[in-house]
Every structure is written in structure tokens, then in C-alpha cells.
Structure 1
Amino acid sequence: MAGPLAGVKIIDLSSVGMGPYATQILADMGADVIKVESEAGDVVRHGAPSLHPGMGAFYMQVNRNKRSIVLNLKAQDDLEVLRNLLRDADVLVSNIRVQSMHRLGLSYEALQAENPRLIYCGVYGFSEEGPYAGRPAFDDIVQAMSGVAGIQGHGEGREPAYVNTVMADKTTGLTAVYAISMALYEREKSGLGQAIEVPMFETMVSFTLLEHMAGATFAGQDMPMGYERVLSPFRRPYRTQDGYIGVLPYTTEQWRRFFELSGYPQYAQEERFMDPAQRGENIGELYEVLASIVATRSTAEWVELLQSADIPTAPVAALKDLLEDEHLKATGFFKVHEHPTEGPIRMPGVPTRFSRTPGSIRWAAPSLDQDAAAIRAEASTKRKK
């Protein structure tokens, strides 16, 4: 099936999670993504679990729909293969340090001179315009620096903590996707490519402070930062008699229904909980009351009671529960593709839906250098005359 990016050619010089996640999404949408790797391969190829060396699970999940070629960019012949591929490419995605790209003759200026339509996307730890430029950056480091880890530990007696997913990598990868898509759209009008910088640190600070700027929004005032509803230590999955549940009465009417249905109507008469402004000021105490009430019944009882009353609620799912989720099964979310060396590979599907040009999973992640012959043949036809 041809997705909305069918015909777009992308050269992927990125590794680990951030860049490969971005190019995986673009590949799902129909782009021809050529993954360029060293002889050692992308480092995540070697992570556990795996069935065979070089085909780790994380690698398999973020490199589907791509073609692989090994190029030693310190060797002139291989560097020329890359340059030939770039002469008619639409997009280059790279997380190689800027200085190294310049030494290789792969700066934006050098490539733009040969291909004015090229969109050159650098995904880095930090903007090249600031004093942190060139520093190594990984998800944990950026979670620490951007405030993400700090707000997980907000409140007395709580320590900073990382979110248990590579959130900085994935959020920045998604940001790169929309930046590249916008640049492709703009090129349709101007006919010209451009350089894009997508730094992890700045992306995650922007992401984190969206709600947590709070009082600092008002620059002339001395008001605290942090969105109190989210930062409350009592905002968490609540323990029931036999498990945990997520529940979030949000509107005044939902809170009123919750208290009446749960057998605690007295709280529905309290202005500090029913008035929206006062509720925000007393949110920690309100969530503490919520936790104590939820503990009085089983998970199944709460789900039946609250869902029938249109109050947002759900049991807390373990990872393995997602594989059997009835909604995901009904939508055909998980896909299984047969890999020539790894056997059946299960992957989350494309979450977005297009009525005319849907994305799709055409094949599972490639083995190292799997497509070298075909890609080198394509490069040879692009030699500069």
C-alpha cells in the first residue's frame, strides 16, 4: 500500500532511538528509508532480548520498513556512495555530531550545493547555538536536565525519578517527524530544501513546561511554577481491594456523581471540592479523599459503577495485558510479519489512519547490510557527471 509519503527518499544516518523512531514513522507512511550503518551496526542491534546476534527487539521495533547498507564513511569509496545517494534524496536524518559531518564533507552547505531540494535534519542533544553544543546526550541525561526527572520526585520525601520509558528519545523523534513533514510541505511551494535542527534538550524543556510554566507564565510576577493537579503526590493509580485502578473525575458534575454513587454524598456538598477554582487549590486533599474511597471496593466493582456513570476509569494494565486488549484486537492493532531470519515478528501497528493513503508495515527490520547490492546499484546511477 502507498502511504502519504510514497516517493519520498530518506537517507538515515541516525542510530539508537530518537532518529530511528522518526524515520520508522516516515517509513510507515510510505517513504523509502535507507538506513546507513557502520560495520558494527546500530548499537541497539545488540541489545537484549534477541534470538540472533545483531537483531535485538528494540532494534526490530524502530527499524521496520527500512533498507540497510553498511558504509564506512572514512573510506573514500563508501563516502562517495553516500554522496551519490544524497544527490537525489529528499531528506537526510543524522545524529552524527556536526563537526564530524563537516569533516566528512557532509555539511548542509556542501550537500545543498549539489541538491538544493534536500531537507537536512540534524537530531542532536543540544542546539548548536548554545554552550552545550556537542555534548553527548542520552534519554536519561535529558530527562534529568529538562526537569522531567525532577517533577517525578515533586513533594516531601519523594526522590527524582526517570519516567520508565525512553520519553526524551521518542518525544524528540516525533518532533523531528513533524518538522520534516512541514519542511516537505514548504518545499512544494518554494522548491527548496532547508536545514532543520531538532535538539533533545530544548524539545523536552518545551514539552515539560507546557503546563508546568504555571506562575512563571506571568513574567512580572513572583509566582510558583508547576501544575499542582499533576504534581499532587496523591495523583496516582489508586489501590482497590484487589488491585489498582486509574480514575479521574474531572468536571464538577463528574465529582458530584462520583461522591453520590460511592456512598459519600457529604463531599458533594463541600464548596472546596465543588467550586472549580477552590478545587484546584485543594486538589491534593481531594485526591487523598479519592484514594481512601477507592480502597473500599474491588477493581471490577469500580469499573462497572463508574463506567456506567460516564466517569473516566480503567484498570491499570500490565504490559502483557495490552496484547490481549479487546479494543486493540478489534482494531487489528498488533501486526505480525515473517522475518527471513527471526521468524514471526510482532509489532504495534500504525496508530494513525488515513482514508485514502494509509501507512502500513511492509516488512520487518532489515538484517545488517541486507540491501547493499541494490542500494549500491542505485548509487552508481547517480554518479555526478
Structure 2
Amino acid sequence: MRALEGIKVIDLSRILSGPYCTMVLADMGAEVIKIESPNGDDTRAWGPPFVEEESAYFLSINRNKKSVVINLKTDEGREILLDLVKSADVVVENFRPGTLKRLGIDYDVLKEVNSGIILASISGYGQTGPYSQKPGYDVIAQGMGGITSVTGEPGKAPVKVGFSIADVGTGVWAIVGILGALHHRNQTGTGQWVDVSLLDTIISWQTYLAGNYFASGKNPEPQGGAHPNIVPYQLFESSDGYFNIAVGNENLWKKFCEAIDEPELSNHPEYRENKDRVINRSKLIPFLQGKFSKHTSQYWIDLFEGVGIPSGPVLRFDEIYKDEHVLAREMLVEADHPTAGKVKMTGIPIKFSETPGEVVSAPPLLGQHTEEVLKGMLDKSDGQIESLVEAGVVRAYREEEQLRK
């Protein structure tokens, strides 16, 4: 058993935020039926790099799912979708608000065929508000939500975060909303519409930076690798690279000063308490940087870890996936793909003691499960499926195989 065994998810999403959400649900045991257009999820073509003919981007976020191709622009396609929704628990979509209504499959329609259905909608700005009809993208949300303005080095141009954190983070909020709605439905029998957006996600993560602004009225500024409220808590340059330290309290500060052979700093009136160090960071940080540049990153990390001061390296990807702890935590996994062979993917971050997640299958080929789902869930015959394929309502992978040959 996995935690969400028995939960059935109809996945209408594509690109990143929705597919990430549904991948995590699938990792936890939900049956995820990925509904794709005849041309497939856009990211199937996003590359290079490709693994054989499969996009590395698509492979990274679509494992444990079944691919069913339905043309939702046809009446028959919409009927098939609504038939699938009748026995489903959750529908996930990340179209621009209003698209489902134009297709005739919005929440009002879905709940008519299944009063317990939970619809999770992911968008750039949400289903309501003046910006709701604008297209939303990760980089735009990072800029509008404040993260770009506080990322980068002081006095230099704002910087986008390297990961697509607005997309992925909103996918995680969608998961939280879905789980909450499932709990509510278990108590009441009633489904609901979960509305999450990229902009709301970034704003919700401002936390202490927003708190600082509300308290002081001052805009937070980029700190580079530093923290606005804690010193020293940042990235430093060593003789051969970079490393991070986190001196989060006064006990650690005393240990830190002793470790770097500067015990008098711990009682220096300008640095004795964290509030003093924050005020006088412009003096303290250059002094510390001068010391740290004399030895390697590993020298300092070993020194600090030896006395219990949190520290760590700045790793590149070729180092991350050789790290013994990362491997021990199974954050690198593999699955057999029908055309790409062994596919490597990031692991499952949630560890359950009783119902662990599992990578059961690699990301699906386009339409790989169309026949299986139409037969198993809707009791369609081979003849009916063939008619739907010929009419362009659905697309099955066997058709793809013929094209490849």
C-alpha cells in the first residue's frame, strides 16, 4: 500500500506546475491518468537534451502516470472525459482561467457528473482578480512576487532564482489543497474547487522579509549569499571555491570565534549579540572573508562541523548525485522506459514509515494507455476504440508504433 492508494486523478495539466503536482500524487499511490492533446504535452518536444527520442524535461516530471490522448475540442472527447470524471476523485488543470468553461468542462459541469469531485486549478494569477486573464509564467511571478528584487548581489541587477520555484512551489500548494479537500470530502461527501496561483505562492513565501517590511516600512534589498536578520549566515569564498555557514545563535557565535582563533570577537561590543553583528556586518564580513580565503572550503567545513557549527559546500549537479547522503536517501532513482532505456530521475522527498512512495513506472509514451483506460474504466470495445481513433477523438500508442516503423 501507498498513502494515496485508491485515489484516482484525471490530469489535464501540462508543462511544469501541474505535472509536478500529479507526479507527487502518483508517487504516493494515486492512479494518475494524464490526458494529452493529440500533439501531446508541449514539453515532449522541449530539448535538447533528449534521451533517445524522449525529452529530458518531460521525463523529469511525468513518471508513474498513464497517458491517454483525447481531443477535448470534439464533443465525443468531452463525453469521454466526463465519463472518466464520474469515477475519479481529483481533476488537475493549469490552463488559463476560463479555458475549461470554453471547453464545456468547467467545475460546474464536473460537479454535475460527480458531486464529490475535487478540481485543482493552477494558474499564474488565480481564478479571480484583475490579472486573472493574463498568461502567467514562472519568471513573471518571481518578479511580481518580490523574489527577484531580493536575489543577487547588492548594487547589481536583480536575479531570477535558478530553479522554477514559482511553478514547482505552486504545484506543491496544489497538493496541499487537494489533500485538504480530500479530508473534507471524507467528512462531508462534498468536493470543491482548489484555486492556487504562481503569484500567490511567491508572496506567501516572503515570510520574514514581508515581516521586516511591515515592521520597518523599508524595502528588503538583495544580500547576495547573506541573510538580512542573522550574521554570519551566508556564503563565503575560500581559496578553492565557496561554502556556507549558519551561525544561528549566540552559543554558536562563541564556538565560531574560538574555531577561527578569534575568541575576542565573541565579546567585542560591535559583535557580541546578533543585533550588533547585523548592524555592523559591513565591518565583520570583510574581516571574516579575509580569513576564509586562506584555506580551502573543505578545510573550513571540517573545522566547523568538528565543533557543531552548521556548514556545507556549494555543490554542482555532478557532485550532488555522487553524495553519499543523497544516495542513501534515495534521491536518485531509475526506471525502465520503453524507448529510452534506464531513465534517471530525482527521488521521492516524502518518506513514509508505513506507506512509502514508489517509482513504479517511467514517464509514459504519448497515448500509451489510451486503450487500457478506455477498456478498463469505460468498458469500450476494440471496435469502439478503433472508431474513436479513426475519427480523431482519441489517439493510441499502437498508432505511434506504426508511424515509427
- TM-score when normalising by structure 1: 0.92
Counterpart in the other structure of 1:272: 270
Counterpart in the other structure of 2:82: 83
Counterpart in the other structure of 1:41: 40
Corresponding letter in the other structure for 1:309: V
TM-aligned CA deviation for residue 212 of structure 1: 0.9
* Offset from partner CA, 1:346-369 (integer Å, 9 cap, x none): 112212211111111101100111
Secondary structure of the corresponding residue to residue 91 of structure 2: strand
TM-aligned CA deviation for residue 28 of structure 1: 0.2
Q: Return the match for 1:322 from 314, 320, 323.
A: 320
Is residue 214–residue 225 contact of structure 1 (8 Å, CA) maintained in 2?
Answer: no
Whole-angstrom distance in 2 between the partners of 1:303 and 1:97: 47
| Segment of structure 1 superposing worse, 97-106 or 301-310 | 97-106
| Segment of structure 1 superposing worse, 189-198 or 145-154 | 145-154
Counterpart in the other structure of 1:161: 159
* Offset from partner CA, 1:24-83 (integer Å, 9 cap, x none): 000000000000111221111112211333x21121111000000111111111221111
Secondary structure of the corresponding residue to residue 203 of structure 1: helix
TM-aligned CA deviation for residue 127 of structure 1: 2.0
Secondary structure of the corresponding residue to residue 50 of structure 2: coil
Corresponding letter in the other structure for 1:224: K
TM-aligned CA deviation for residue 379 of structure 1: 4.5
Is residue 214–residue 226 contact of structure 1 (8 Å, CA) maintained in 2?
Answer: no
Query: Structure 1 residue runs of 4+, over 6 Å off?
Result: 232-235
TM-aligned CA deviation for residue 214 of structure 1: 2.8
Counterpart in the other structure of 2:176: 178
Counterpart in the other structure of 1:211: 208
TM-aligned CA deviation for residue 154 of structure 1: 6.3
Is residue 45–residue 59 contact of structure 1 (8 Å, CA) maintained in 2?
Answer: yes
> What are the residue-to-residue correspondences of 1:259-338 with 2, within 5 Å?
259-338=257-336
Q: Return the match for 1:224 from 218, 228, 238.
A: 218
* Offset from partner CA, 1:230-273 (integer Å, 9 cap, x none): 24999653111122111122211212222222122232221322
Corresponding letter in the other structure for 2:13: S
* Offset from partner CA, 1:291-317 (integer Å, 9 cap, x none): 222112222221221111001111211
2:89 equivalent to 1:95: no
Corresponding letter in the other structure for 1:348: T
Is residue 149–residue 161 contact of structure 1 (8 Å, CA) maintained in 2?
Answer: yes
2:60 equivalent to 1:51: no
Counterpart in the other structure of 1:139: 138
2:375 equivalent to 1:377: yes
* Offset from partner CA, 1:315-356 (integer Å, 9 cap, x none): 211111111101122333321111111100111221221111
Is residue 82–residue 379 contact of structure 1 (8 Å, CA) maintained in 2?
Answer: no
Is residue 64–residue 359 contact of structure 2 (8 Å, CA) maintained in 1?
Answer: yes
Whole-angstrom distance in 1 between the partners of 2:328 and 2:76: 51
Counterpart in the other structure of 2:390: none
Is residue 256–residue 274 contact of structure 1 (8 Å, CA) maintained in 2?
Answer: no
Q: Return the match for 1:239 from 219, 237, 241.
A: 237
Is residue 235–residue 287 contact of structure 1 (8 Å, CA) maintained in 2?
Answer: no
Is residue 330–residue 348 contact of structure 2 (8 Å, CA) maintained in 1?
Answer: no
Q: 1:193 to 1:285 in 2, by over 3 A?
A: farther
Whole-angstrom distance in 2 between the partners of 1:93 and 1:190: 21
Is residue 97–residue 132 contact of structure 2 (8 Å, CA) maintained in 1?
Answer: no
Counterpart in the other structure of 1:368: 366
Is residue 82–residue 113 contact of structure 2 (8 Å, CA) maintained in 1?
Answer: no
Q: 1:231 to 1:161 in 2, by over 3 A?
A: farther
Whole-angstrom distance in 2 between the partners of 1:235 and 1:110: 52
Counterpart in the other structure of 1:27: 26
Secondary structure of the corresponding residue to residue 110 of structure 1: helix
Percent identity between the two aligned chains: 31
Whole-angstrom distance in 2 between the partners of 1:109 and 1:283: 56
Counterpart in the other structure of 2:150: 151
Whole-angstrom distance in 1 between the partners of 2:33 and 2:96: 20
| Segment of structure 1 superposing worse, 314-323 or 25-34 | 314-323
Corresponding letter in the other structure for 1:328: V
Is residue 233–residue 248 contact of structure 2 (8 Å, CA) maintained in 1?
Answer: no
Counterpart in the other structure of 1:115: 114
Is residue 97–residue 126 contact of structure 2 (8 Å, CA) maintained in 1?
Answer: no
Whole-angstrom distance in 2 between the partners of 1:167 and 1:248: 23
Corresponding letter in the other structure for 2:3: P
Whole-angstrom distance in 1 between the partners of 2:69 and 2:112: 25
Q: 1:196 to 1:100 in 2, by over 3 A?
A: same
Corresponding letter in the other structure for 1:211: Y
Q: For this pair of structures, how many residues does the alignment match?
A: 375
Secondary structure of the corresponding residue to residue 271 of structure 2: helix
| Segment of structure 1 superposing worse, 223-232 or 161-170 | 223-232
Is residue 244–residue 299 contact of structure 1 (8 Å, CA) maintained in 2?
Answer: yes
CA RMSD, Structure 1 to Structure 2 (Å): 2.0
Whole-angstrom distance in 2 between the partners of 1:115 and 1:236: 51
